[in-house]
C-alpha cells in the first residue's frame, strides 16, 4: 500500500472510484476539476494524494495548502482542543474531499497520517454544512464547538476595529512574488456572526494514539439541554470512541421542526441555539430515535417505547427536563399522545406545550391550522400560561396565519384563578 501525490495517469481511476461511491454526475465533475487542477497546476490552492495497491487506486484525498487560521480561532473553540503553540503556522490544512474504497476503511488512520506527512502538515480540519456529504473518515475526527458572540444583534456592532498595519520589509516584498493561496481567505475574522459551518479536526499526535473503543449500550432519554450536553461531552472525549449511543427524543431534536425563529412554537433554549444544534450533527454521530418512552424493564435492561419497540441498554440516563404538568393535575392527556390510561381523559384540541407531536399537529398545511386560519368561520384559540412558552406559541400561531384577535391568553394569578386577555 503506497500513498503518493496524484499524477495525470491516476485521474481516470480516481474518477471511477468517485463514481462508484454513488456521487451525482455534477458533483463528480466538480470534484474532478479540483483534483485535476491540484494535480497539474503548481498554483492550485490544493494538494491531491492517491493511495494505491499494485497500481490500483483505492483512495484519494484533496487537502488545502493553507487555511484562514485566524477565522477558525475567532469563531471556534479550537484553543480548548489544540495547543496552537505546538504547531507551525504553515502546519494547518483543510480536508476538501476524500473517498476510500470501503474494503480499506480500517486503514483510515494510516491514510490520514501519510497525507499529513507528505503534505508537511500537523493539523487537519474538516468543514461541514447542510449540503456536505459526511465522509467515511468522519468518525476519526473531533468536533469543535463554535463560539457564541456576546450579543443578540443580527448586524455588526458599530465600534472601532483594530487594523493591523505593519511596516513591510524587503524580505516581505520579495515573498509577495508568490503567495500560497489561503483557503477561506475571504472570511472576515471580525464579522461578529456565527460561522455557517461546523468544524472538525485531527492532529498527527491524536492519529498516533489508539482510541479505546467502548461498545457499551448507552441510552439517553430526552433531548433536553442536559441530555444533549451529556452526549456532546461523550463524543468530545479524544481517547474514547463510543459506538453505541442512542438518544430517544420525543418529537425529534429541536431543530428538526423549526425553519426560522418566528415559526418556533416554544421558547428557545439559552444553552443551544438552532444553529448550534445543527452544527453538532448528532444524527451523523449517534442514533436518534423520534419516540416516547412508556416503561422501563429494569430486570432485562430494556426501554419500552410507545410503538412497542425495545431498546436494550447497559447505561440508562434520564434527562427529560422540566415539563408542563397542568394537564396532569387536571387528569387530562394532551391530544398528541395515545392510547391513554382509563383514569385519564383526552379532549380533542387540548394540547400541551410538551406534546411530542405539537409541530405535526400545528403544521401550516394541517387540518387544525386550516380550521384556525379559516376567515369564513372564526375559531378561537386559548393559550393558558405565563411563561415564555406561552408568548412563543402566540408568535408561532400568528406566523402561521392565525389572526391575533382570535387568540386569547389566559394568565393564571397567584390565587390559582386566571385572567383573560384578547389580542386585538
Give residue-wise pLDDT tens across range 316-337.
999 988 888 888 888 888 887 7
In a domain, 102, yes or no: yes
**Quick check: is 161 in a domain?**
no
Pairing of strands 315-318, 218-221: parallel
- With bands split at pLDDT 50, 70 and 90, how would you rate the model's confidence at 175? very low
- List the one residue out of 309, 274, 273, 269 whose CA is nearest residue 289: 309
Last residue of a domain, one of 318, 345, 363: 318
Question: Is residue 311 located within the same domain as residue 346?
Answer: no
The pLDDT tens digits for 248-283 are 999 888 888 877 777 888 887 778 888 888 888 898
| pLDDT of amino acid 174 | 46
357 with 230, same domain: the answer is no
More confident residue, 309 or 416: 309
Domain interval for residue 269: 212-318
The verdict on residue 158 lying in a domain is no
Q: Are residues 94 and 202 in the same domain?
A: yes
For residue 205, what is its C-alpha cell? 499526535
Does residue 167 lie in a domain region? no
Residue 151 has pLDDT above 70, yes or no: no
- Asked if the structure places residue 155 within a domain, the reply is no
- Cβ neighbour number for residue 263 with a 10 Å cutoff: 14
Q: What is the pTM of this model?
A: 0.81
The reply to whether 283 and 228 lie within a common domain is yes
Domain CATH number, residue 258: 3.50.50.60
Q: Please indicate, yes or no, if residue 164 is contained in any of the structural domains.
A: no
In a domain, 166, yes or no: no
- pLDDT at 230 exceeding the cut of 90: yes
Q: Do 312 and 412 lie in a common domain?
A: no
Whether residue 34 is found in the same domain as residue 120: yes
Counted domains in the chain: 3
* Position 178 confidence tier, pLDDT thresholds 50, 70, 90: low
Q: Is the pLDDT of residue 165 over 80?
A: no
Sheet holding 198-203, edge to edge: 2-5, 46-53, 56-64, 92-100, 123-128, 198-203, 142-144
Residue 162 within any structural domain of the chain: no
Query: Mean pLDDT lowest for which of 60-69, 230-239, 330-339, 349-358?
Result: 330-339
Domain boundary among 289, 318, 347: 318
What does the pLDDT read at residue 168?
A: 45
Task: Indicate whether 387 pLDDT > 50.
Answer: yes
Higher-pLDDT residue of 415 and 267 is 267
Question: Are 8 and 141 members of one domain?
Answer: yes
Q: What is the mean pLDDT of residues 412-422?
A: 63
- pLDDT top residue among 189 and 417: 189
Q: What average pLDDT does range 198-221 have in this prediction?
A: 93
Give me the mean pLDDT over the 277-301 stretch.
Answer: 91
Q: Are residue 229 and residue 251 in the same domain, yes or no?
A: yes
Specify whether 220 is located in the same domain as 279.
yes
How crowded is the C-beta side of 383, counted as CA atoms within 13 Å?
26
Q: State mean pLDDT over 208-230.
A: 92
> Are residue 65 and residue 203 in the same domain, yes or no?
yes
Confidence at residue 368, expressed as pLDDT on a 0 to 100 scale: 87
Are residue 376 and residue 281 in the same domain, yes or no? no
pLDDT, one tens digit per residue, over 81-139 is 899 999 999 999 999 999 999 999 999 999 999 999 999 999 999 999 888 888 888 98
| Residue of higher predicted confidence among 420 and 389 | 389
* Final residue belonging to a domain, choices 295, 318, 341: 318
Domain CATH number, residue 21:
3.40.630.30
Averaged pLDDT for residues 403-415: 84
What SS3 string covers the chain? CEEEECCHHHHHHHHHHHHHCCCCHHHHHHHHHHHHHHHHCCCCCEEEEEEEECCEEEEEEEEECCECHHHHHHHECHHHCCCHHHCCHHHEEEEEEEEECHHHHHHHHHHHHHHHHHHCCCEEEEEECCCCCCCHHHHHCEEECECCCCCCCCCCCCCCCCCCCCCCCHHHHHHCCCCCCCECCCCCCCCCCCCCCEEEEEEHHHHHCCCEEECCCEEEECCCHHHHHHHHHHHCCCCEEECCEEEECCCCCHHHCCCCHHHCCCCCCCCCCHHHHHHHCHHHHCEEECCCEEEEECCCCEEEECCCCEEECCEEEECCCCCCCHHHHCCEECCCCCCCCCCCEECCCCCCCCCCCHHHHCCCCCHHHHHHCCCCCCCCEEEECCCHHHHHHHHHHHHCCCCHHHEEEEEECCCCCEEEEECC
**For position 167, what pLDDT does the model report?**
46
Same domain, 9 and 89: yes
Amino acid at each position: 500500500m503506497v500513498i503518493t501525490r496524484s499524477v495525470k495517469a491516476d485521474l481516470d481511476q480516481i474518477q471511477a472510484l468517485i463514481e462508484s461511491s454513488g456521487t451525482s454526475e455534477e458533483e463528480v465533475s466538480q470534484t474532478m476539476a479540483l483534483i485535476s487542477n491540484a494535480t497539474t497546476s503548481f498554483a492550485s490552492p490544493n494538494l491531491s494524494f492517491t493511495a494505491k495497491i499494485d497500481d490500483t487506486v483505492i483512495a484519494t484525498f484533496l487537502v488545502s495548502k493553507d487555511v484562514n487560521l485566524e477565522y477558525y480561532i475567532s469563531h471556534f473553540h479550537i484553543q480548548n482542543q489544540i495547543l496552537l503553540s505546538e504547531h507551525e503556522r504553515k502546519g494547518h490544512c483543510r480536508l476538501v474531499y476524500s473517498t476510500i474504497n470501503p474494503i480499506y476503511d480500517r486503514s483510515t488512520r494510516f491514510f490520514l497520517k501519510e497525507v499529513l506527512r507528505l503534505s508537511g502538515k500537523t493539523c487537519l480540519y474538516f468543514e461541514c454544512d447542510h449540503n456536505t456529504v459526511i465522509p467515511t473518515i468522519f468518525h476519526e475526527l473531533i468536533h469543535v464547538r463554535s463560539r457564541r458572540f456576546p450579543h443578540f444583534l443580527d448586524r455588526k456592532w458599530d465600534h472601532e476595529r483594530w487594523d493591523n498595519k505593519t511596516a513591510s520589509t524587503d524580505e516581505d516584498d520579495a515573498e509577495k512574488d508568490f503567495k500560497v493561496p489561503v483557503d477561506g481567505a475571504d472570511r472576515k475574522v471580525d464579522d461578529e456572526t456565527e460561522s455557517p459551518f461546523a468544524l472538525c479536526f485531527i492532529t498527527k499526535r491524536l492519529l498516533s494514539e489508539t482510541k479505546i473503543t467502548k461498545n457499551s449500550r448507552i441510552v439517553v432519554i430526552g433531548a433536553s439541554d442536559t441530555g444533549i450536553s451529556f452526549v456532546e461531552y461523550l463524543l468530545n472525549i479524544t481517547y474514547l470512541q463510543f459506538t453505541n449511543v442512542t438518544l430517544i427524543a420525543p418529537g425529534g431534536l429541536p431543530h428538526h421542526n423549526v425553519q426560522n425563529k418566528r415559526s418556533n412554537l416554544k421558547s428557545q433554549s439559552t444553552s443551544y441555539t438552532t444553529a448550534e444544534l445543527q452544527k453538532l450533527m448528532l444524527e451523523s454521530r449517534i442514533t436518534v430515535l423520534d419516540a416516547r418512552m412508556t416503561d422501563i424493564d429494569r430486570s432485562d435492561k430494556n426501554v419500552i417505547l410507545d410503538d412497542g419497540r425495545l431498546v436494550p441498554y447497559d447505561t440508562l440516563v434520564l434527562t427529560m427536563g422540566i415539563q408542563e404538568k397542568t394537564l396532569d393535575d387536571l387528569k387530562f392527556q394532551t391530544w398528541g399522545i395515545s392510547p391513554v390510561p382509563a383514569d385519564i381523559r383526552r379532549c380533542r384540541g387540548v394540547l400541551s406545550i410538551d406534546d411530542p407531536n405539537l409541530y405535526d399537529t400545528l403544521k401550516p398545511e394541517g387540518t387544525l391550522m386550516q380550521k384556525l386560519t379559516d376567515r369564513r368561520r372564526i375559531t378561537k384559540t386559548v393559550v393558558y400560561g405565563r411563561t415564555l412558552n406561552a408568548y412563543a406559541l402566540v408568535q408561532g400561531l400568528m406566523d402561521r396565519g392565525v389572526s391575533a384577535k382570535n387568540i386569547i391568553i389566559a394568565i393564571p394569578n397567584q390565587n390559582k384563578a386566571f385572567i383573560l386577555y384578547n389580542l386585538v
